[in-house]
Each structure stands twice: as C-alpha cells, then as structure tokens.
Amino acid sequence: MSEKRRLGRGLGALIPDALAGSADTSEIALNRIQPNPYQPRRLFNEEKLNELAASIKEHGVLQAVVVSPSGEEDNYILVAGERRCRAARIAGLKTVPAVVKSFDKSSLLEIALIENLQREDLNPVEEAQAYKRLMHDYNYTQEELAQRLGRSRPSIANSIRLLSLSDGILEALAEGKITPGQARPLLGINNPKQQQLAAKQIIEGSLSSREAEKMASKINKQNSKNKGREEAIVQDPVHTELQLQIQRVLGTKVRLKQGKSGGTIEIYYYGEEDLERLIAKLLPEGI
C-alpha cells in the first residue's frame, strides 16, 4: 500500500459530518463559490475533468462539496471539491450541493492538501510546495506536519528537498517526465549545468532510480578529483611571493610544491652553462 493511501488524518477526521453525509446540504450557485486561495494544486487534467463532467451530466454531483463563508455576503470559499466544481461548470450546472462549515486559514490549506494527497492528485512539486507553505505560514515543524498529515517526517523532508533542484528539473517533475526517486540523486550535484545534463540523461535513457544514483555518484567523484587537482595548483600567497623572490635571486624558474607536512623546491636550469651559473650562486665557495 502506498504511503499516500496510509494517511492517518484524512478528510473524515477534519470534516466528518460532510463526508459521512449527515450534514445538511444546500444548493449553492457556482458563481458564489470562490476558489480556495490555499489550493496547492495548480495543474488539472482536462481529459479527466471532461470525463467527470460527462458523469455529472448523467448522474449529477453525487458528493457535496464543502465551502466556508468568505466574509462577503452570500459568498463562500471552496474548501474541498475543486474538481467537482470545475466539472460542474463544464457540464453547464449553475448550482452544486454543498456543506457549509467555517474553517480558519490553516485548515483551508490543510484540508485542500489532504484531499489532493488522498486522491493522489498533486504532482511532486505541488506537494512539496504545499508542505513548505504550511510550515512557513503556520510555523509547523516537519515533525508536527508529519503527525497532522499521517506521514513520516523523512518523507516530508525528502519532498521539500526537491524544491532546491533547478527550475528545468522541477518542470520535468511536475510534468511526470522524471520521478522523485530519479530526481533525488541530482540534489548531490552542486553544479547547475551538470545537474541539468544528468537529468537529461536520466529522462532520455529511462534510467532507474538506482542507475541515477550511480551516475550522480560518478559525477561527484570526478568533481572531487578535479577539485583536488585545482587545490594542489593553488598555493599559499606567502609561498607564491617567496617563489618569486627566489626566482629573481637565481634568475631562473623555481617551483615550490606544498605537501601536508613539508614540500619541495624545484630549480630549473637550461644547459650546462646555466647549471654552472646556478652552482656558483648557491655554492660561492665551490664544491
């Protein structure tokens, strides 16, 4: 059973009367229902909406939507049932059956998030953004959020971490071109261009999550080697100045190589005469 299906705190825990069918319903005009401003979902499948609209034309809206008073006279904020409202409009309905209950801002986002999670309607980016917004706007810790949503804290953390990927990869995630499991190894690649190229390889090569991990690990190892070479070339400024002074005194190329606990000095000469000149400088009293 998927984790999304194991939510411990579902809609029934938050709005039990509405889901149990025991609450009073009213026919409310669709033009009086405002979209939930905290709705985490941004993409709606047009084909599925049209299928739902066809069903509504045939059977009507079988489950009431849930709305909350907006503060404006006779207007409401949609709490749960966005797909039903959209499909009802497509079907040409003017009203929908609705349960009216008052909710605070925190609950509006929480309920919209849970509804979509239970229906597996959110793409990975929308899901991560919703978690982040709950934590930012309502000061939930990852642990508190996990408890309220019936999820594990690592799953919340892993979801939010995806948002640090580059925009192009997030777009691919939202469109389903790459899965969270395939994308997560890319978080370890710090170079944005390398990250994008790796994502392209994963998508075009249909790599598994394990293959994506191996590829990311290989890239990171190569980067570490390259960094090590670069660091070996970069010298301490004091040593660099000392190297220049020795070169001026000796009149030839000199290289100071640094090690962990010492180093070497390389003195270059060009031909026998140049070597004799250097010996005379270094050993003025002779050999």
Q: What is the pLDDT of residue 144?
A: 86
Q: How confident is the model at residue 123 (pLDDT cuts 50, 70, 90)?
A: confident
Q: What is the CA radius of gyration of the chain?
A: 32
Q: What is the pLDDT of residue 2?
A: 39
Instruction: Identify whether residues 153 and 225 lie together within a single domain.
Output: no
What is the reported pTM? 0.56
Q: Which conformational region is residue 208 in: left (phi greater than 0), alpha (psi within -120 to 50 degrees), or beta?
A: beta
Residue 124 has pLDDT above 70, yes or no: yes
Tell me how many domains the chain contains.
3
Instruction: Identify whether residues 95 and 150 lie together within a single domain.
Output: yes
CA separation for the pair 42, 281 (Å, rounded): 78
Q: What is the pLDDT of residue 181?
A: 94
Helix or strand holding residue 49 (H, E): helix 46-59
Helix or strand holding residue 147 (H, E): helix 142-149
Q: How confident is the model at residue 116 (pLDDT cuts 50, 70, 90)?
A: low
pLDDT tens for 155-190 read 999 999 999 999 999 999 999 999 999 999 999 888
Marked catalytic residue, from 82, 110, 115, 126:
82
Q: What is the pLDDT of residue 148?
A: 78
Q: What is the pLDDT of residue 226?
A: 66
CA separation for the pair 187, 191 (Å, rounded): 10
Instruction: Identify whether residues 21 and 147 lie together within a single domain.
Output: yes
Instruction: Identify whether residues 103 and 220 lie together within a single domain.
Output: no
Count Cβ atoms below 10 Å from residue 239 Cβ, excluding itself: 13
CA separation for the pair 183, 216 (Å, rounded): 10
Domain that holds residue 217: 165-229
Least confident of 110-119, 200-209, 216-225: 110-119
225 occurs within a structural domain: yes
pLDDT tens for 18-68 read 444 446 788 999 999 988 777 766 667 788 888 989 999 889 888 888 888
Strands 65-69 and 95-100, bridge-based pairing: parallel
CA separation for the pair 115, 64 (Å, rounded): 14
Backbone angles phi, psi at 252, to 5 degrees: -155, 170
Query: CA angle at residue 194 from 226 to 191, to 5 degrees?
Result: 70
82 is catalytic: yes
Instruction: Identify whether residues 186 and 250 lie together within a single domain.
Output: no
Instruction: Identify whether residues 140 and 36 lie together within a single domain.
Output: yes
- Output the CA torsion sign for 3, 126, 134, 187: positive
> What single string gives the DSSP state of each residue in 212-277?
HHHHHHHHHHHHHHHHHHHHHHS--HHHHHHHHHHHHHHTS-EEEEE-SS-EEEEE---SHHHHHH
Least confident of 79-83, 93-97, 123-127, 166-170: 79-83
